[in-house]
Amino acid sequence: MHYRTMTINDYDAAIALWSESEGVRLRDADSRKGIEKYLLRNPGLSFVAEGEREGELVGTIMAGHDGKRGYVQHLSVADSHRRRGIATELVNLCLDALKNEGILKSHLMILPENKAAQKFWASQGWAYRSDILLYSFVNGDNLNI
């Protein structure tokens, strides 16, 4: 398995992977332009795993931060490559990169029906938070942003 920093050149393969991944919800913000903006704003914090075949993208993780807290999203591993430690390695790469930026606490959001993700993140030492509520505001007419 080969791990490297994600670039915008991975976009098409990443979208294909995310589209096939149960529990990943894509929004308009996941457009090529949106992902490119995210990667440029958060250089070196998102990673991909490449399989045995050249150009075969089998895993992704994206991360960014606001200067205090990290935010992790779009961890996904192809069904054909699960249970090989790929997700764990992607998480470790991501958290190490955030730590190098001085970010020691990170958050992520999981859809309530995604039981597999809940189990995975708990196994990685992430704690479910019941003491806070997440509120969102859409500044415009596009509710799918």
AA letter at 37: K
- Give residue 24's pLDDT: 87
CATH of the structural domain 2-123, one choice from 3.30.1360.170, 3.40.50.300, 3.30.200.210, 3.40.630.30: 3.40.630.30
Q: Give the DSSP per-residue string, 56-103.
A: -EEEEEEEEE-SS-EEEEEEEE-GGG-SSSHHHHHHHHHHHHHHHTT-
E strand intervals along 95-145: 106-108
- Give residue 22's pLDDT: 84
- Give residue 53's pLDDT: 81
Q: Which residues of the chain have pLDDT under 70?
A: none
- Give residue 142's pLDDT: 85
- Give residue 31's pLDDT: 96
Dihedral angle sign, alpha carbons of residues 44, 110, 20, 119: positive
Give the Cα separation of 34 and 52 in Å (integer).
Answer: 29
- Domain boundaries along the sequence of the chain: 2-123
Query: Residue 137 — φ and ψ, nearest 5°?
Result: -135, 130
pTM of the model: 0.92
Q: Of 46, 19, 49, 24, whose CA–CA distance to 35 is shortest?
A: 46
- Give residue 123's pLDDT: 95
